[in-house]
Amino acid sequence: MRPFVRHDEGGKALQFSIHEIQSRTLLADPSALDLEYSRLMMGFLLWLPAPRSILMLGLGGGSLAKFCHRHLPGTRIRVVEINPHVLALRDEFQVPRDDARLAVLLGDGAMHVREPGPGCDLLMVDGFDYDGQPAALCSQAFYDDCFERLDAAGMLVVNLHRHEAEHALVLDRIGRSFHDETLVVDSSDGANSVVLAAKGFALARRSRSMRQWSRGLDPLAAAQLQPAFSRVQAAWRAATPSARPSR
């Protein structure tokens, strides 16, 4: 399926249909995370503030890749995108050129995770097409492969459409693969669910205060993430009422 670019006042969006935005870039700040779900996905910083390596499945307009490349200077980022037409829009959305820290590859994300390869601290899954999330990116086998591909004490972050028919089933699959070490955070408009899943540690055991996670980020980036991170922490407290953020 060939995506198209839709321009509006202040930004441009990558879309597969007129009804749904896959990714949106602000003209004034191309590295900013304009859509709430993408800011919620950065909630991993509350547990993993300095990942050494990130594997992303799905490039879209490159919002997450651009933000992480700019604001996590010590992190190596590998992005796997299956759609060559999406990759062809890389320059349109000002995704940085490959360098020592960033590599963007054409390939099947599910196969990439299944095949032998280097582990990673963080695996981010944000892969959609015209019909929604491909079956290969939400099967039990896929989430099992994600668990195995992560290094010890790594994390998986998944963006899901909340109103998909198999939403509850997919949440159950992630829980099975990650031994129920999962946290679900819904976007404020109810359209997306972001799932954070931990390998090798209990999500309830540690979470960072707002002051701690923002260390190392420039003030504008921290201010951009703060409302979403407040939402992540609220979901975390609701799921683990006996836990409290570290101070």
Residues with catalytic roles: 126
Distance, CA of 78 to CA of 141 (rounded, Å): 22
Give residues with Cβ within 8 angstroms of 211, minimum separation 6: none
Nearest CA-CA partner of 55 in 67, 65, 42: 65
Residue 172: half-sphere exposure toward Cβ, Cα within 13 Å: 4
Side chain identity at residue 2, one-letter code:
R
Tokens of 69: 């490349």
Asked if 51 and 78 count as a contact pair (C-beta separation under 8 A), the reply is no
Distance (Å) of CA 53 to CA 128, 139, 149, 187: 23, 24, 12, 26
Nearest CA-CA partner of 89 in 65, 113, 124: 65
Q: Using a CB cutoff of 8 Å and minimum separation of 24, what contacts does 219-225 make?
A: 221/67, 221/71, 224/32, 224/33, 224/39, 225/33, 225/39, 225/42, 225/45
